[in-house]
Amino acid sequence: MIPARFDYHRPDSVAAAVGLLQQHGDEARVVAGGHSLIPMMKLRMAAPAHLVDLQGIAALRGIEAGDRIRIGAMVTQSEMLAHAGLAEAAPILAEAARQIADPQVRNLGTVGGNVANGDPGNDLPALMLCLDATFTLEGPEGVREVAARGFYEAPYVTAREEEEILTAVGFDRPARGFAYEKQKRKIGDYATAAAAVLIGAEGGRVVSASVAMTNLADVPVFSAAAGEVLLGSDCGEDAVAAAVDAMQGDIDPVEDNRGPVEFKRHVAGVILARAIARAWSRV
Amino acid sequence: MSNRMHLTLKVNGEAVETLAEPRELLIHVLRERLGITGPHIGCETSHCGACTVDMDGKSVKACTIFAAQAQGAEITTIEGIGTPDSLHVLQEMFREHHGLQCGFCTPGMITRAWRLLQETPSPTEEEVRFGMAGNLCRCTGYQNIVKAVLAAANELNTVKEAAE
């Protein structure tokens, strides 16, 4: 459980951190809360020669919760859970954050680390797909914005370039009907299946719907088809069943210690139906 | 070749300095370099919470923090919460309510509960269970652990009211 040796850096600006990444290339990794990277380093599945700790960069903290919501990369899951403005503007974030790991892990685990790492088991990537968020990336060429829905390419492979740092996530204030529903074997486990759902309604009918799933493929899954099926419906039994069917066409679970494929597909269906029902009850 | 760094911490109110490699885990620095053996190593994979310490006012798992990340931090361990001669209310309540069996998880449990009761001074049972979810007891003595934390909250609030 002893990681390989590394040199430690604690820059105080994004520019300085990017400079370190340029200087050390693929020998360097950034660390935010460390609760994804450090376990990988202990197993020596990751062995960066240079560790660039982002904790000293004040610009990466802070939450803005107006009509547009912006969350700095170093905001922890505990901070997200406790933020009154966020609870009002986008309560789906707190509902998801509550279901990530445990208090000690949430005290260090960050938004940026959770979304940038590219682990399909993480909860916030699917949530960001559901919210149609954009990620802000800063590198040697400057700042650019990337849509979350185009960010995840393969496990641990994202649209982020090696010398870029993900500095913030942003999204518009979401629809009122929301739910993040997660099935896990125990506290601290990744999801067997989880669903993020946002629904807007007028006159008893769905006018907007967004569905994304966690840990049911090698990347987080945005199911445009499931959302489309719900549009115009009253979220009744038939509509929910059709949305679950549509979602099944977008996921691609594999057998592992959380169960065989059939079981995961079954759980995914149950979880999505629950999430839609809860989101609908809140519109 | 070692690349040790001067690590400066405040541990249980005292400034301490030691040499440590950046890759050393905080729990190893505390136990092996500073001789603070209250926080235990259980799973060493950030699940069990036996290594829980308080860092800059937050409960954390010291097995998943590099020494270098803790540079400059203020740490409280079970040794800073109570002593054998002067037990903290939480320790008294764990004793009274049989909140421990083998005792291995207890330092982490109490260190976490100590912070929880500062964050949420009058928790419901559900809030105690949610707030203590990062600490596992292999003897599965959770009922009495929850009872002990609730009793300690009650006791601390009574003392506080009496003082006001």
Q: What angle do CA B115, B118, B124 make, to 5 degrees?
A: 95
- What homologous superfamily is domain B5-80 in, according to CATH? Beta-grasp domain (3.10.20.30)
Question: What pLDDT is attached to residue B2?
Answer: 77
- Among B60, B69, B131, the residue with its CB nearest the CB of A55 is B69
Domain ranges (residues) in chain A: 7-53, 63-172, 177-281
Q: Which residues of chain B make contact with A42, given a CB cutoff of 8 A? A: 44-45
Chain A contact for B112, CB < 8 A? yes
A103 closest CB neighbour out of B22, B23, B134? B134
Query: What type of residue sits at position A87?
Result: A
Look up the CATH architecture of domain B89-163: Orthogonal Bundle (1.10)
Assess contact for A193 and A213: CB atoms under 8 A: yes
Is B60 near chain A, with CB under 8 Å? yes
Predicted pLDDT of residue A1: 74
Question: Is B61 within 8 Å of B43 (Cβ atoms)?
Answer: no
- Tell me the shortest Cα–Cα distance from B134 to chain A, in angstroms: 5
Question: Backbone phi, then psi, for B64, in 5-degree steps?
Answer: -125, 35
Give residue B142's region: left, alpha or beta (phi > 0; psi -120 to 50): alpha
The length of chain A, given as a count of residues? 283
CATH-assigned architecture of domain A7-53: 2-Layer Sandwich (3.30)
**Terminal-to-terminal C-alpha distance of chain B:** 58
Could you tell me which chain B residue has the CA closest to the CA of A52? Answer: B69
User: ∠ CA A102-A107-A110 to the nearest 5 degrees?
Assistant: 100
In contact, B11 and B36? CB cutoff 8 Å:
yes
**Inter-chain residue contact A103 with B3, CB threshold 8 Å:** no
**B69 interface with A at CB cutoff 8 Å:** yes
Tell me the per-residue pLDDT of A3-58, one tens digit each, with 9 for 90 and over.
Answer: 999 999 999 999 999 999 999 999 999 999 999 999 999 999 999 999 999 999 99
Query: How close A35 gets to chain B, by Cα (Å)?
Result: 7
**Is A177-281 assigned to CATH 3.90.650.10?**
no
What residue ranges of chain B are covered by domains with CATH 3.10.20.30? 5-80
A28 touches chain B (CB under 8 A): no
Cα separation, A65 vs A200, in Å, equals 19
Chain segment A189-244, per-residue pLDDT in tens? 999 999 999 999 999 999 999 999 999 999 999 999 999 999 999 999 999 999 99
Same fold, A7-53 and A63-172: no
What is the pLDDT tens value at each position of chain B, 164 positions in all?
A: 578 999 999 999 999 999 999 999 999 999 999 999 999 999 999 999 999 999 999 999 999 999 999 999 999 999 999 999 999 999 999 999 999 999 999 999 999 999 999 999 999 999 999 999 999 999 999 999 999 999 999 999 998 899 88
Answer yes or no: is pLDDT of A2 > 90: no
pLDDT above 80 (res A248): yes
**d(C-alpha B70, C-alpha A28), whole Å:** 20
Question: If you average pLDDT over residues A274-282, what whole number do you get?
Answer: 98
Q: Which residues of A touch B132 (CB under 8 A)?
A: 103
Tokens of A41: 């380093």
Please state the φ and ψ torsions of residue B99, each to the nearest 5 degrees. Answer: -80, 10
Helix (H, G, I), strand (E, B) or coil at A138: strand
pLDDT in tens, A177-189: 999 999 999 988 9
Say which of B21, B69, B134 has its CB closest to residue A102: B134
Q: What is the pLDDT of residues A111-139, one digit of tens each?
A: 999 999 999 999 999 999 999 999 999 99
Cα gap A1→B41, rounded to integer Å: 12
Instruction: Give the contacts of A82 (CB within 8 A, at least 6 positions apart).
Output: none
- Given a contact cutoff of 8 angstroms between Cβ atoms, the answer to whether A104 and A91 are in contact is no
Question: What's the confidence (pLDDT) of residue B164?
Answer: 83
Is the minimum CB–CB distance between A94 and chain B shorter than 8 Å? no
The per-residue b/e assignment along A232-254, b for 16 or more CB within 10 angstroms, e otherwise, is ebebeeebbebbbebbbebbebe
Spell out the alpha helix ranges (H) of chain B.
26-28, 89-96, 106-119, 125-131, 142-163
Enumerate the H helices of chain A as residue ranges: 14-24, 37-42, 77-82, 84-89, 91-97, 103-108, 111-116, 124-131, 224-230, 237-248, 261-281
**A108 touching B (Cβ < 8 Å):** yes
pTM for this structure?
Answer: 0.96
Q: Phi and psi dihedrals of A140, rounded to 5?
A: -60, -30
Instruction: Give the model's pLDDT for residue B1.
Output: 55
Does the structure show a pLDDT above 90 at A261? yes
Token look-up 């540079």 returns B71
Top CATH class of A63-172 equals alpha beta
Q: How far apart are CA B131 and CA B128, in angstroms?
A: 5
